[in-house]
Amino acid sequence: MSRSISALAVALLLGGFVMPAHAASTEADYKAAYAAAESANAEAGKLRNQWTTAVSALKASKAAAEAGDFDKATAEAKKSEQLSKAAIFQTNEQKENWKLMEIR
């Protein structure tokens, strides 16, 4: 439990997620990655905890795709999805744990 949380915290602070190098991405890769990122961002929105960085990565993904750079578009979409997943994790983790910081 605490290991996964500190891993998350480090990821949160470092911000960037290193993408594994892989073969050139296609438009189909981009579309799949973008759809996944969009849906994670929408879920974070329902939880009232979107991260600005997830939203900007989503925008950067779309812009790269429009410029025909599907490598970058796919990487940005994946980064955005990771960030939104961390936001969702954070929301769930805080459901009870917010009380730990309370002045009492």
Contact pick of 21, 66, 68, 104 for another protein (by CB under 8 A): 104
**Smallest gap from residue 48 Cβ to another protein (A):** 6
Q: Does 18 bind another protein (CB under 8 A)?
A: no
Contact pick of 18, 20, 66, 96 for another protein (by CB under 8 A): 96
**Residue 6 CB-density burial (10 A; 0-12 exposed, 13-18 middle, 19+ buried):** exposed
Distance CA 39, CA 42 (A): 5
Angle formed by the axes of helices 52-66 and 27-46, to 10°?
Answer: 160
**Smallest gap from residue 9 Cβ to another protein (A):** 5
Distance CA 37, CA 57 (A): 9
Residues 30-89 that bind another protein (CB under 8 A): 45, 48-53, 55, 83, 86-87
DSSP 23: S
Structure tokens at 74: 């796919």
User: What residues make contact with another protein under the rule CB under 8 A?
Assistant: 1-2, 5-6, 9-10, 12-13, 15, 45, 48-53, 55, 83, 86-87, 90-91, 93-94, 96-104
